Amino acid sequence: MRTKLLAVAIATSVVLAGCATVPTQGPIRSGSQAGLAPGAAGVNVKPNPPRPNAPPLVLVNGYLEAMTDSSNFDQARQYMTQDAAATWKPESKLSVYDQSSLTAVRQLSNNSVQLRAPLIGTIDDRGSWTPAVRGAIVNVIFTLADVDGQRRVSKAPDGAFLGSNQFESRLTARSLYFLTPDHQTLVPDPIFLPINLPPGQAATQLVQELLKGPTSRLGNGVVSAAPPGTQVNVSVPVELTTATVALSDAAQVLGDLERRQLAAQILWTLRTVSPRVKITVGGAPLLDGQPDAMSIDTFSNFDPVASSPQMKELYGVRKGRVQHITGLDGAQAIASVPLDNSLLYEPYADSLAVNLKADSGAILTKIHNEPVVAYARLDATDKSDKLATIKTSGRVLRPSFDYQENLWILDRAGSTDPRLRVRNRDGKVTDVATDFGGDTPMILRMAPDGVRVLMLMKRKSTRQTYVQTGTIQLNDAKQPKLGDFHDLQLSLADITDVSWNQPGILVAGRSTPTSSRQPWQINSDGSQSHLLPGTSSDFDTNLIASTPNADSFPVIQDSHNALHWQLKDLSWQMDDETSKPPPIIPVYPG
């Protein structure tokens, strides 16, 4: 066996038109989900008050600079007339615009200044990011008036404005955590907070937002254990490494199980601010027998990724046969081991999905010349194991598993009426209502939580591909529905694959029509886009295998069908045995 190491390439952060870019500083993955996230980087310069006798253009530029401190808008109000400052509502919306143009801010007349620039995205009053559609612009006119001989802004729209070059130094991504409908696991709901908030203020705001319920992105696809009316008493102080959350009496009605679920939501939400949390209700501990601060490790069972360490195991399909790829951890020689004990081995597999426990799988195949999804154990030493099948029609996408052993199947993908179904662990198959609006689904990947969906789509009108997310919710008839679609508005061309990973998602695409296809690390709401750290220009990216598991690393199949996997030092390794023909289609559990 001959091994080739590819040197680490420095990841370059780029601004993609129509998509906000927040370059990530520091390591992408931590050693444990329970670890405290690295502190947010960036220089946070305090805005200056208005300059005496400032001309209109200088005044408005100072006003826009003062808006960048979203933790305190009092400085920005100094640039306004008294009436305008009293009625201005900056918290209602934050618009992020492309600041690269030298003429983004220009004077129209002696009493007005215009801000006109491409809109990148907006952040609502909950902190949720929405990418702007391509071609959207910010077009605002600030009217000025004289106040005691000094110019001041007398008319401005509600909301604040932030230049793209200020985004990463002013705002930081956090997540609220809500429960799946069965209350068994947690689902992240990303929001943004000002980067310069002290830990206590950040913790207070996070818990307050958590108790409001999920944002519109998740809708009724998730639930909260907090009863209606639950609030935080005063604030959430953080002393040393411990946050103290004093809940209102509304939480007194919770039983033991619901209290534990609410504690899990709070600890996971505060994990980037404080590694330990003490929670009380009416002065007493939320959980009986837990008077002291708790750590997130106590609630690791609510994380489907942490509770499924087998997700780091790599599988694949080679010449229609299912394989287990071993040796990526360096403990043994790298090899592609045929799973010839499995009932899934003999049928010719067009694609493979593996459940999160890595003990069962599903393949696209034909039985008696009929197209089906067949599923069985990966190791059929138990002779009672049977090969179960689900009939399909038309083009079938690779199936996907979630933490409940649900198997999600989308067929008729090339028709005007794609069909999504889910088979539960008992074998019951249920139709999932959805409407793709005439566009064609190319790839569907379920998140381990079974609520969030990642898709590669092709537009009916232009035949161009795009990436969108969706949420599994319940319709009025209490039936599962895939909806609440969000186009991430990525400016990537020739996208060939998408996959979940720990920070968000990975996308294989080109930044320009003539550039190499590379793996892009993108936040799940579309607010971040940069090359995967360590990305190499030595090969093009065709397929990506990745997982949210912290101990797994991306595996790439290049345009020549060779496999490359990333090591802990971010270099890339290629092995001749697994990269020689016939090619292997790599698959992680999920």
User: What CATH number does residue 313 fall under?
Assistant: 2.120.10.30
Give mean pLDDT, residues 551-571. Answer: 92
Q: Are residues 355 and 499 in the same domain?
A: yes
Radius of gyration of the chain (CA): 26
Q: Would you give the DSSP letter of residue 434?
A: -
In a domain? residue 174: no
In a domain? residue 23: no
Model-level pTM?
0.89
Each residue of 147-177: pLDDT tens digit?
999 999 999 999 999 999 889 889 999 999 9
In a domain? residue 37: no
Three-state DSSP at 200 gives helix
Long-range contacts of 290-294 (CB under 8 A, 24+ apart): 293/242, 294/263, 294/267
Which range, 19-23, 123-127, 330-334, has the best average confidence (pLDDT)?
Answer: 123-127
Q: Output the CA angle 243-262-446, nearest 5 degrees.
A: 110
In a domain? residue 223: yes
Least confident of 89-93, 227-231, 331-335, 580-584: 331-335
Given a contact cutoff of 8 angstroms between Cβ atoms, the answer to whether 357 and 323 are in contact is no
Given a contact cutoff of 8 angstroms between Cβ atoms, the answer to whether 334 and 370 are in contact is no
Say if residue 238's pLDDT is above 70.
yes
CA–CA separation, 10 and 220 (whole Å): 41
CA–CA separation, 419 and 394 (whole Å): 10
Those residues with Cβ within 8 angstroms of residue 398's Cβ, 6 or more apart along the chain or in another chain: 351, 352, 353, 364, 443, 444, 587
What would the two tokens of residue 298 be? 């106590």
Q: Count the Cβ atoms, other than its own, within 10 Å of residue 345.
A: 18
Higher pLDDT, residue 500 or 575: 500
Number of domains in the chain: 3
In a domain? residue 28: no
In a domain? residue 218: yes
Mean pLDDT in the chain? 89
CA–CA separation, 315 and 358 (whole Å): 9
Q: Are residues 437 and 333 in the same domain?
A: yes
**What is the domain range of residue 235?**
197-302
State the pLDDT at residue 44: 52
In a domain? residue 537: yes
User: Are β-strands 112-124 and 93-97 bridged in parallel, bridged antiparallel, or unpaired?
Assistant: antiparallel
Q: Are residues 509 and 493 in the same domain?
A: yes
Each residue of 253-281: pLDDT tens digit?
999 999 999 999 999 999 999 999 999 99
* Of the residues 270, 302, 334, the one at which a domain ends: 302
Higher pLDDT, residue 24 or 577: 577
Q: Are residues 201 and 296 in the same domain?
A: yes
Q: Are residues 263 and 311 in the same domain?
A: no
Q: Count the Cβ atoms, other than its own, within 10 Å of residue 108.
A: 12
Q: Are residues 266 and 352 in the same domain?
A: no
How sure is the predictor about 45, in pLDDT bands with cuts at 50, 70 and 90? low
CA–CA separation, 454 and 554 (whole Å): 17
Long-range contacts of 340-345 (CB under 8 A, 24+ apart): 341/379, 341/380, 341/381, 342/376, 342/377, 342/378, 342/379, 342/380, 343/374, 343/376, 343/377, 343/380, 343/385, 343/386, 343/387, 344/374, 344/375, 344/376, 344/378, 344/387, 345/321
Q: Are residues 311 and 429 in the same domain?
A: yes
Each residue of 438-489: pLDDT tens digit?
999 999 999 999 999 999 999 998 889 999 999 999 888 888 999 999 999 9
Tell me what percent of the residues of the chain surpass a pLDDT of 70: 92
Given a contact cutoff of 8 angstroms between Cβ atoms, the answer to whether 25 and 41 are in contact is yes
Q: Are residues 162 and 216 in the same domain?
A: no
The length of the chain is: 590
Q: Are residues 141 and 13 in the same domain?
A: no
Least confident of 280-284, 294-298, 333-337, 585-589: 333-337
CA–CA separation, 356 and 588 (whole Å): 9
User: What CATH number does residue 104 fall under?
Assistant: 3.10.450
State the pLDDT at residue 364: 98
State the pLDDT at residue 37: 32
Q: Are residues 347 and 292 in the same domain?
A: no
Q: Are residues 368 and 510 in the same domain?
A: yes
* Of the residues 260, 285, 302, the one at which a domain ends: 302
Each residue of 376-411: pLDDT tens digit?
999 877 667 889 999 999 999 999 999 999 999 999
Q: Are residues 323 and 432 in the same domain?
A: yes
What would the two tokens of residue 515 be? 């550039």
How sure is the predictor about 333, in pLDDT bands with cuts at 50, 70 and 90? confident
Between helix 256-269 and helix 199-211 the angle, nearest 10°, is 130
Given a contact cutoff of 8 angstroms between Cβ atoms, the answer to whether 229 and 261 are in contact is no
Q: Count the Cβ atoms, other than its own, within 10 Å of residue 343.
A: 18
What would the two tokens of residue 191 be? 């929001």
In a domain? residue 191: no
